[in-house]
């Protein structure tokens, strides 16, 4: 039997970090076994489901590169099928109509809580005849005794006593089927072999198995992956900052970095930290996933992103960087070749956003000097080196404005003045970049270009003069 997994988010928000990891695990497991990965949108909650959320989820999946073989399927388009199954259950006496008013249910719950019992439906309508023409819901007749065992690929054997379960609603009074029913029917119809999903569904699983059995089907394999928690150890939510996958794209993260981070959350392969998607597929096994929840650690993600930024194809990074430069009001076509800028700057940036900021000096004059850098390198003693550099640069032909010539020129000026290279290169760097950090000085000069270099040296000289005057 070929492996078939599915990712089944409900479109009530963006694709979040936890969902993305579940999707990744489903994807990897299917790919590893040469099976199929299916996307299903669980939108039976008409109240909260939105088209925007569907788009956001699709966008997230596409960005991450988690391509699915079938779908997206929408549960709202399968209501007829669910109702057919519900009617079948009804006809076979495996489900029943219930018209218990909400007040009764509410009172029941309060009484049970008061008696320190788990709130459960008491089966009041199990053997009553409820008029089909009056408002009612359909409940599944859960077995009253015995044990359901969830044989989980990650948790192991988890037995549940049927007496802990109650007769859950499978069709609402408005005729819409509920989650537990539609999931079961879909997984069955879509021939899902491995249900890989969040930990929060473990308690639902025995109910679903019971429905499956009532339908005469064998349950699929289950794997419940632990949750991802925020820095404070509570369930990841908006107040922990960015939780949507798309937010990470906006913050300048690479999809492969996010994927790499996510796969290592709850899973490992020896001491290995870096994985390409193909390597993940090769090494991943759902059985190796940890049982304990893990805390989302942004600094490790950032480190991974830097690793990928360092080794990614410059042409691709250039493409991804353009919009971020745009946000800063920079048009890359107005300056040095973007790909050259990327080659020089990308290894020093942690995100695309940072890369854009660090690269801005190549395209426009900076606003002001970094205070500490100016204080350290643009004192009176910087005047002479800068003047000599200006003179030397002025004499250079545009054709000679190459890293080799520039390096030679800077070194020569230092030599002539009997200064260490740092005493010359650093003032120059602050003069043309605005701060004391940049690629090698010759590379920096080349990117800035002759005109801007001379203009900025002039500015630095004025700055130095203003210090002694002021």
Partner RNA sequence: GCUCUCUUCGUCUAGUGGUCAGGACGCUGGCCUCUCACGCCGGUAACAGGGGUUCGAAUCCCCUAGAGAGCGCCA
Question: Any residues with CB less than 8 A from the CB of 165 and at least 6 apart, and which?
Answer: 120, 142, 148, 206, 207, 210
Instruction: For RNA, give the closer residue by CB, 219 or 226.
Output: 226
The residue (of 35 and 143) whose beta carbon lies closer to RNA is 143
Supply the minimum distance, in Å, between the C-beta of residue 44 and RNA: 4
Extract the tokens encoding 85: 């199954």
What are the CB-based long-range contacts (under 8 Å, 24+) for 82-89?
Answer: 82/171, 82/177, 82/181, 82/182, 82/185, 83/171, 83/175, 83/177, 85/181, 85/185, 85/215, 86/138, 86/170, 86/171, 86/177, 86/181, 88/215, 89/138, 89/140, 89/170, 89/214, 89/215
For residue 130, CA distances in Å to 104, 203, 261, 330 come to 16, 30, 54, 70
Here's the x/- map for RNA, 248-277, by CB under 7 A: it reads as: ----------------xxxxx-xx-x----
CB 229 within 8 A of CB 290: no
> Whole-angstrom Cα distance, residue 417 to residue 433?
23
Q: From CA 101, how far away is CA 185, in angstroms rounded?
A: 28
**Binding of residue 319 to RNA (CB under 7 A):** no
DSSP β-bridge partners for residue 223: 196
SS3 sequence of 171-195: ECCCCCECHHHHHHHHHHHCCCCEE
Cβ within 8 Å of residue 401, ≥6 positions away: 445, 446, 449, 450
**Nearest CB to RNA, comparing residues 84 and 290:** 290
Window 132-171: residues binding RNA (CB under 7 A): 135, 137, 155-156, 158, 160-161, 164, 166, 169
Region binding RNA by CB under 7 A among candidate stretches 238-246, 332-340, 379-387, 439-447? 439-447
Stretch of 215-223, 252-260, 301-309, 362-370 lying at the interface with RNA (CB under 7 A): 301-309
- Strands 169-171 and 137-140 turn out to be antiparallel
Query: At 113, phi and psi to the nearest 5?
Result: -60, -40
Kindly state the smallest distance separating residue 363's Cβ from RNA, in Å: 18
One character per residue 28-67, x = contact with RNA (rule: CB under 7 A): --------------xxxx--x-------------------
Tokens for 223? Answer: 């794997």
d(CA 438, CA 442): 10
CB of 378 to RNA, least distance (A): 14
Pick 441 or 457: Cβ nearer RNA: 441
Nearest to 26 by CA among 11, 45, 44, 9: 9
- Binders of RNA among 280-299, rule CB under 7 A? 288, 290-295, 297, 299
Quick one: which of 300, 343, 412, 450 contacts RNA (CB under 7 A)? 300
What three-state secondary structure class fits 142?
Answer: coil
Least Å from the CB of residue 200 to RNA: 4
Rounded Cα distance between 253 and 262, Å, is 13
Could you say whether residue 119 binds RNA (CB under 7 A)? yes
Structure token pair of residue 156? 């192991």
Q: CB 380 → RNA: shortest distance, Å?
A: 19
| Nearer of residues 35 and 221 to RNA, judged by Cβ | 221
Binding segment (CB under 7 A) for RNA, from list 54-62, 141-149, 334-342, 437-445:
437-445
Q: Which of residues 88-117 bind RNA (CB under 7 A)?
A: 102, 105, 109, 113, 116-117
Question: Percentages helix, strand, coil for the chain, rounded to the nearest 5?
Answer: 55, 10, 35
Map tokens 């489901």 to a residue.
Answer: 49
- Give whichever of 80 and 174 is closer to RNA, judged by the CB atom: 174
Residues 348-407 that bind RNA (CB under 7 A): 348, 407
Contact between 124 and RNA by CB under 7 A: the answer reads no
- Total residues binding RNA (CB under 7 A): 85
Closest approach of RNA to the CB of residue 261, in Å: 8
Q: Is 178 one of the binding residues for RNA (CB under 7 A)?
A: yes
Q: Among 33, 124, 201, 221, which residue interacts with RNA (rule: CB under 7 A)?
A: 201
Interface with RNA in residues 202-241 (CB under 7 A): 202-204, 226-227, 229, 233-235
> What is d(CA 233, CA 448) in angstroms, rounded to the nearest whole number?
47
Looking at the Cβ atoms of 175 and 326, the one nearer to RNA is 175
Q: Which stretch binds RNA (CB under 7 A): 60-68, 238-246, 379-387, 414-422?
A: 414-422
Q: CB of 258: closest distance to RNA in angstroms?
A: 14
10 lines the binding site for RNA (CB under 7 A):
yes
Residue selected from 220, 332, 335, 439 as contacting RNA according to rule CB under 7 A? 439
Q: How far is the CB of 1 from RNA (least distance, A)?
A: 26
* Residue 70 CB, nearest approach to RNA (Å): 18
Catalytic residues: 238
Nearer to RNA, 2 or 276 (CB): 276
Token digits for 371?
Answer: 């205070």
């Amino acid at each position: 039997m070929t492996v078939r997994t599915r990712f089944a988010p409900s479109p009530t928000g963006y694709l979040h970090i936890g969902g993305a990891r579940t999707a990744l695990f489903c994807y990897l497991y299917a790919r590893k076994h040469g099976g199929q990965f299916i996307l299903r949108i669980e939108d039976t909650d008409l109240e909260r489901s939105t088209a925007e959320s569907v788009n956001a989820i699709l966008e997230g999946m596409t960005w991450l590169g988690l391509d699915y073989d079938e779908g997206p399927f929408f549960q709202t388009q399968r209501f007829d099928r669910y109702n057919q199954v519900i009617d079948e259950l009804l006809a076979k006496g495996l489900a029943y109509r219930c018209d218990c008013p909400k007040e009764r249910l509410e009172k029941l719950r309060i009484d049970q809580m008061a008696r320190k019992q788990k709130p459960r439906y008491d089966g009041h309508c199990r053997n009553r005849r409820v008029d089909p023409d009056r408002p009612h819901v359909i409940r599944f007749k859960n077995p009253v005794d015995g044990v359901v065992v969830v044989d989980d690929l990650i948790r192991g054997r988890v037995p549940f006593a049927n007496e802990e379960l109650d007769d859950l609603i499978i069709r609402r009074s408005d005729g819409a089927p509920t989650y537990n029913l539609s999931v079961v029917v879909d997984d069955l119809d879509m021939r899902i072999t491995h249900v890989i999903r969040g930990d929060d569904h473990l308690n639902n699983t025995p109910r679903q198995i019971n429905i499956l059995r009532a339908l005469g089907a064998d349950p699929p394999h289950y794997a419940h992956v632990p949750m991802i928690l925020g820095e404070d150890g509570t369930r990841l939510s908006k107040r922990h900052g960015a939780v949507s996958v798309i937010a990470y794209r906006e913050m300048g993260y690479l999809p492969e970095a996010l994927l790499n981070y996510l796969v290592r959350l709850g899973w490992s392969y020896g001491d290995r930290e870096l994985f390409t998607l193909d390597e993940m597929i090769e090494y991943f096994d759902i059985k190796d996933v940890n049982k304990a929840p893990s805390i989302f650690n942004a600094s490790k993600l950032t480190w991974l992103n830097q690793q990928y930024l360092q080794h990614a194809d410059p042409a691709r990074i250039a493409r991804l960087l353009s919009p971020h430069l745009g946000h800063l009001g920079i048009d890359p076509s107005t300056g040095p070749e973007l790909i050259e800028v990327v080659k020089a700057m990308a290894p020093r940036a942690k995100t695309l956003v940072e890369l854009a900021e660090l690269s801005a000096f190549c395209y426009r004059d900076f606003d002001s000097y970094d205070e500490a850098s100016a204080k350290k390198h643009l004192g009176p003693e910087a005047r002479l080196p800068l003047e000599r550099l200006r003179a030397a640069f002025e004499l250079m032909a545009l054709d000679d404005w190459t890293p080799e010539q520039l390096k030679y020129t800077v070194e020569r000026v230092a030599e002539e003045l009997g200064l260490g290279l740092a005493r010359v290169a650093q003032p120059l760097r602050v003069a043309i970049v605005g701060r004391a950090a940049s690629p090698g000085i010759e590379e920096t000069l080349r990117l800035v270009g002759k005109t801007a270099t001379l203009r900025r040296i002039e500015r630095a000289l004025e700055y130095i003069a203003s210090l002694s005057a002021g």
